[in-house]
Amino acid sequence: MTTSCKVSICVPTYNRPELLVECLDSCLAQTHANIEILIGDDSSDTRTQQLIAARYAHDARIRYVKNGPSLGQARNVASLFARATGDKIALIHDDDYFTSDGIETLLALWHRHPQLEVAFADQYEVDAHGNFDATTSAAVNAAFHRNTAAQGLQRQPGRTGLVQMFPNNGWMANADLVKRISYRDDVGTCCDYVFGAELCLAASQVYYLHRYVSYYRKTDVSVSGRTRGSACSASLTAFEFVSRLTLDASLEPARRLALRRLAPNVVSLYAKNDAPLAALRVAFVHLYAYAYGLDARLYYHLSLIARACIPMKWRGLPPSATRFP
């Protein structure tokens, strides 16, 4: 089954042709040959279009579309899922890339578990130049609950998505499930997390493999970095999404774990954007996120809240400085 199974590798891209080459070359070098590579180009110029024409035009596995006008992150990814013709779908962003056996490794899990719907594994963390540190990579994966003890079919598939164990790319899933869930255009830069959570909540079988199958590149121009301090922060959207979810009682501990990670970020965000009452409310409703006062971040955040209570004119700030209504 694994050799005959067609895998659609979806690659959204935006103004990064120099990094896209490494991504596409890693896809074309996969040990599993039955693939198609779908590219959705949201770029504001024609550099990527020219690159594809010059370097990949004669490779039938490449299926390129230049979006006009640009679709935005969520709709671009959703359009790639809709175009996919494979039995399985894998996602890799333009600045990331697969190990040479990444697709084969993930696909082999279906041979062992025919009812499997979603599979993922570890990601190397690399810098802008592709250099990786094994110790840092291991620590990052461990921080997202990816470790030896967690390997296997997940007892609670939904928990896997809620606690951010599921990665933003480098995963594989049944195409029909991916198309049904798809990416939402109403959650901004949080669309990766929301998709992962909803995908795992909808799946009956999710497998985590404690093995590296992809490389995640950290750059200075990441979307999360550009919006981290603003009202459109992915942390705030994720916090609101998790808080409002209707969940089975068995998943309430997972919700609590997810909010424990997110709540302090939201408190800081509200305080820095002159919404002290909202910050105080989140901090005390989710006091467990601060180990009930044993975490030093609580007192730092309380100092930010206190400062936000001082009228802006006394801090030398114009009224328009606030980013929250």
270 touches 278 (CB < 8 A): yes
Identify the band that residue 132 occupies on the pLDDT scale cut at 50, 70 and 90. Answer: confident
Task: Select from 84, 66, 89, 42 the least CA-distant residue to 223.
Answer: 42
| Residue 129 binned pLDDT confidence (cut-offs 50, 70, 90) | confident
CA dist 265 and 1 (Å) reads 45
- The CATH number for 11's domain is 3.90.550.10
Please identify, among 170, 199, 224, the residue that sits at the C-terminal boundary of a domain.
224
Would 247 be classed as within a structural domain? yes
Confirm whether 2 is domain-assigned. Answer: no
Query: Do 94 and 202 reside in the same domain of the chain?
Result: yes
pLDDT at 221 over 60: no
Same domain membership, residue 238 and residue 132: no
Q: Is the pTM of this model over 0.85?
A: yes
Q: Can you give the pLDDT at residue 314?
A: 56
CA distance 173 to 159: 17
Residue 99 identity (one-letter amino acid):
T
Domain that holds residue 31: 7-224
Nearest alpha-carbon partner for 190 in 317, 40, 74: 74
250 and 213 in one domain?
no
Q: Locate tokens 């594809």: which residue? A: 52
How far apart CA 265 and CA 298 sit, in angstroms, is: 11
Residues 140, 236, single domain; the answer is no
Cis check: omega of the bond before 325, within 30 degrees of 0: no
Residue 31 and residue 159 in one domain? yes
- pLDDT reported for residue 318: 60
Neighbour count for residue 223 (Cβ, 10 Å): 16
> Within a domain: residue 244?
yes
Establish if 317 belongs to a structural domain.
Answer: yes
pLDDT at 126 over 70: yes
What integer best gives the mean pLDDT of the chain? 92
What pLDDT is stored for residue 33 in this prediction?
96
Total domains in the chain come to 2
Tell me: pLDDT of 57 over 50: yes
Both 50 and 147 in one domain: the answer is yes
Buried b (16+ CB within 10 A) or exposed e, 69-92: eebbbbbbbbbbbeebebbbbbbb
Q: Of 316, 301, 223, nearest to 269 (Cα)?
A: 301
* CA distances to 9, 139, 215 from 135, in Å: 29, 6, 14
Q: What is the pLDDT of residues 161-174, one digit of tens each?
A: 999 999 999 999 99
